[in-house]
Amino acid sequence: MAETNENVWAPWRMEYIEQLGDRDGDEGCFLCRYRDNPADDQQNHVLWRSEHVLVLLNRFPYTNGHLLVAPTAHLGDIETVPEPVLIELALRLRDAKRVLQQVVFAHGYNIGMNLGRCAGAGLPDHVHWHIVPRWRGDTNFMAVTGGVRIIPQSLDAVDERFRRVAEQLGLPATP
């Protein structure tokens, strides 16, 4: 399959994916629900949590290993996130990318956030970064499959491998 330089960041797809993620039996914010239920971290695929930051697998991944990194506080705009939290978010983005590389062996990454519904945010009231692993040629594949691939068996596999690699790298889940 030929490589492509096509612009592949597709926020409209993210919106669809996040709406799905937000529609599993609770009207409220799924990030706040996950934050408030640490006992469910395994089933919610919350990989790391600290007082200020959650790192979790997107349950409806755009590609294998698609992560979300969010402040625990329900804040809708990056401008309202306190500076120490922004720093911790950046450190977690770095750590997550480091672990993920040894889990999925991606050729590249998209790391970004959608602010506001017109920008593709499906959960506009709780800011979060996306980390999306990319492989050469994956745009062609996604065009064929219509953009959304729901692969729960690989979610569990990625979850398990992420936790193991994180432990090996000295970056275990924080209580």
Which residues are at the interface with Zn ion (CB under 5 A)? 29, 31-32, 74, 126
State which residue, 31 or 57, has the beta carbon closest to Zn ion.
Answer: 31
Nearest residue to 78 (alpha-carbon basis) of 119, 23, 38: 119
Which is nearer to Zn ion, 122 or 133 (by Cβ)? 122
At closest approach, how far in Å is the CB of 31 from Zn ion?
Answer: 4
Decide if 87 contacts 153 (C-beta within 8 A): no
Q: Which residue's Cβ lies closest to Zn ion? A: 29
Helix (H) or strand (E) holding 111: strand 108-112
SS3 breakdown of the chain: % helix, strand, coil, rounded to 5? Answer: 45, 15, 40
Q: How far is the CB of 20 from Zn ion (least distance, A)?
A: 17
Shortest CB 66 distance to Zn ion, Å: 19
Cα Rg, the chain, nearest whole Å = 15
In this structure, which amino acid lies at residue 136? R
In one letter, which amino acid is 122? Answer: G
74 included as an active-site residue = no
Ramachandran angles phi, psi of 163, nearest 5°:
-60, -40
Is the Cβ of residue 17 or residue 31 nearer to Zn ion in the bound state?
Answer: 31
Q: Which is nearer to Zn ion, 31 or 68 (CB)?
A: 31
- Active-site annotation holder among 52, 66, 126, 128: 128
Residue 160 to residues 42, 43, 47, 59, 166, Cα–Cα distance (Å): 9, 11, 9, 14, 10
To the nearest whole angstrom, how small is the minimum distance from the Cβ of residue 117 to Zn ion?
Answer: 16
What positions carry a catalytic annotation?
A: 128
